[in-house]
Amino acid sequence: MNERRILLRYVPLGVFLGIVFTKGEVISWFRIQEMFRFQSFHMYGIIGSAVAVAALATWLIKHRGMRALGGGEIETKVKPSAGLNYRYWIGGSLFGLGWGLLGACPGPIYALIGNGVSVMFVALFAALAGAWAYGYFAPRLPHH
Amino acid sequence: MIETLSQPWPWWVAGPLIGLIVPLLLLAGSKQFGLSTSFRQICAATAPGQIEYFRYDWKRGMWRLMLILGIIGGATIAATLLASPDPIVGISPATHADLETLGINDFKGMVPSEFISWSGLLTLPGFVMVVVGGFFVGFGARYADGCTSGHAISGLSTFQFSSLVAVLGFFAGGLVATHLLLPLIFGAW
């Protein structure tokens, strides 16, 4: 199977995700506010059950020694488990500031564009500017 | 059937389905769920400059851009064929009251469209939420090496301590934004 056809298999997975993000209201600014005000279980239930299902399924894949489509080996751990490094807590807190204001993390930014909230193109452009600024300043930022 | 699917989905339906994307990506080609890397890829593809962080083979992550195209398409399907009959979001009455105190009156749709809209960009809250918020989402996600998908879902589900630290950071930042910055920019401090 050629590379292009292999890439096409990720499109339906995205469609699935876009539908769930929208119908589960994960992309709702109001739902994110509700979460950060601890006034509903909705978002905690979503994140918690998503993590539980992902953990169980990943364990099963490793435990059974399952292989990817086409026979490749499955690698489940790529991020180094480096603990309390600066980048995780400083970067994480800055991301949280943005998440609280915008009410959308990267996946939902794309999903909101699909929902016709066209001003999210501005948010996407701002996020790209932020990512670019990170790349520019990265050599001078504390990471470890 | 369509009628049932058109209602907002409860957490116990949406959450497990989102979790399933992790094994589906592993089985499809040993891919790790994470969406903010797309920001790095798009920068690398369009404006890498002399910046080392952007001088890498972004095409190797083409699968992620395909996934994102799908997300945009799937969201469009959900917003049209499966549009909720009631456009008002079903948030808790307490949140509704808090946000009204802040100065938000329109609870239709996914975002407060008095502020998060093209005309809303001309208001201070709208500008800060969309532009400043967007900037920090991009900056912070790349600094932390992951966002909600990469750290909160992929990372936590493989028990990585660094992801737990990042997620605690996400919440710390979100609480500051919600309880300090929003009242400040809405003049309700």
Q: What is the pLDDT of residues B12-26, one digit of tens each?
A: 999 999 999 999 999
Q: Is B81 on the interface with A (CB under 8 A)?
A: no
**Which of B136, B167, B182 to mutate: most A Cβ within 10 Å?**
B136
Mean pLDDT confidence for A79-97: 84
Report pLDDT for A81. Answer: 55
C-beta atoms of A55 and B116 within 8 A? no
Residues in CB range of A111: below 8 A, 6 or more apart: A17, A18, A21, A22, A26, A27, B71, B72, B74, B75
Report pLDDT for A91. Answer: 97
Kindly give the interhelix angle for A10-23 and B62-80, rounded to the nearest 10 degrees.
Answer: 40
Residue B50: pLDDT band with limits 50, 70, 90: very high
C-beta atoms of A58 and B23 within 8 A? yes
Q: Is B45 on the interface with A (CB under 8 A)?
A: no
Q: What ipTM describes this predicted complex?
A: 0.97
Report pLDDT for A3. Answer: 81
Report pLDDT for A89. Answer: 95
Q: Is A95 on the interface with B (CB under 8 A)?
A: yes
For the cut 70, the answer to whether the pLDDT of residue A94 exceeds it is yes
Within 8 A of A100 by CB-CB distance, chain B residues are: 133, 173-178, 181-182
Could you tell me how many residues make up chain B?
189
Distance CA B28, CA A62 (A): 15
Reported pTM: 0.96
Mean pLDDT confidence for A106-120: 98
For the cut 90, the answer to whether the pLDDT of residue B8 exceeds it is yes
Q: Is B69 on the interface with A (CB under 8 A)?
A: yes
Report pLDDT for A71. Answer: 86
Q: Are B40 and B142 in contact (CB under 8 A)?
A: yes
Within 8 A of A102 by CB-CB distance, chain B residues are: 129-130, 133-134, 137
Mean pLDDT confidence for B113-117: 97
Report pLDDT for B189. Answer: 59
Q: Is B189 on the interface with A (CB under 8 A)?
A: no
- Identity of the residue in A10, A44, A81 whose CB atom sits nearest the CB atom of B70: A10
What Å distances lie between residue B109 and A29, B13, B65, B93, CA to CA? 9, 21, 26, 17
> How confident is the model over B72-98, as pLDDT tens digits?
999 999 999 999 999 899 999 999 999
Report pLDDT for B35. Answer: 97
For the cut 70, the answer to whether the pLDDT of residue A95 exceeds it is yes
- Identity of the residue in A7, A91, A105 whose CB atom sits nearest the CB atom of B148: A105
Q: Average pLDDT over chain A, rounded to whole?
A: 94
Nearest chain B Cα distance for residue A40, angstroms: 6
For chain B positions 139-158, those within 8 Å of chain A (CB to CB) are 139-158
Q: What is the CA radius of gyration of chain B?
A: 19
Q: Please state the φ and ψ torsions of residue B108, each to the nearest 5 degrees.
A: -85, 145
Report pLDDT for B1. Answer: 83
